[in-house]
Homo-oligomer: A and B are copies of this chain.
Amino acid sequence: MTHRPIIEHIQNHVTASPKDLQLFTSKLREVSVAKGKFLLQPATPVKHEYFVLNGCLKAYYLDKKGNKNIVQFAIENWWLGDFDAFYNQGPASLHIEAVENSTLLAINYNELQLLFQEAPIFERYFRILITRAFISLRKRIISSLGKNTKERYLEFCESYPSIEDRVPNYQIANYLGVSAENLSRVRRKMKTLK
């Protein structure tokens, strides 16, 4: 099991001692999910959060009419989970499905609470990550209200570099809240202009 990506990710955000890093990585467990299989399904208990080593996953929920609504993609170096259920230790409301064969590192809820006691630097690490996630979610709301398809797609490519050829067009459109036809048109035009 390789820990190098998560260690680099931590060191990009905070200054952790070798002892703290060792403690953190000792709590991780590797998980694999094959393409099209589920990491999480609604109504099951949520005991873990996940860091993506490789692959690509999507988190979505089904609305009352059974429509799929994608709330997050995750690729290499992203954290992923049903944060509401994890934080409140309730059952999942999201589906998390692998878009590609994926390998993740899982951290257990109780282990994480212990870690916060033992190495408070990880309070800082997760505070910084969740602050960024909050800001980017708020930007996404503002974006969905005032921006056109091209602007939203460019923001998406910035948030998820290298994902645009890995996820089908209609799934990106779903995430962005635009029609698949409209998004293909915009993407074709952008390619012609390159």
Task: List A residues at the B interface (Cβ < 8 Å).
Answer: 61, 63-64, 69, 71, 83-84, 87-88, 116, 120, 123-124, 126-127, 130-135, 137-142, 145-146
Q: How far is the CA of A161 from the CA of B120 in the complex (A)?
A: 34
Q: How far is the CA of A133 from the CA of B83 in the complex (A)?
A: 11
Q: How far is the CB of A62 from chain B (nearest CB, A)?
A: 9
How many monomers of this protein are in the complex? 2
Closest residue of B by beta carbon distance from A142:
B61
Closest residue of B by beta carbon distance from A123:
B123
Closest residue of B by beta carbon distance from A72:
B138
Chain B residue contacts of A83, Cβ below 8 A: 131, 134-135, 138
Structural contact, A124 and B116, CB atoms closer than 8 A = yes
The residue from B71, B123, B133, B138 contacting A71, defined by CB atoms under 8 A apart: B138
Q: How far is the CB of A8 from chain B (nearest CB, A)?
A: 21
Chain B residue contacts of A135, Cβ below 8 A: 83-84, 87-88
CB-defined A-B contacts under 8 Å, sample of 9: A69-B146, A71-B138, A71-B141, A71-B142, A83-B135, A87-B131, A116-B124, A130-B131, A140-B141
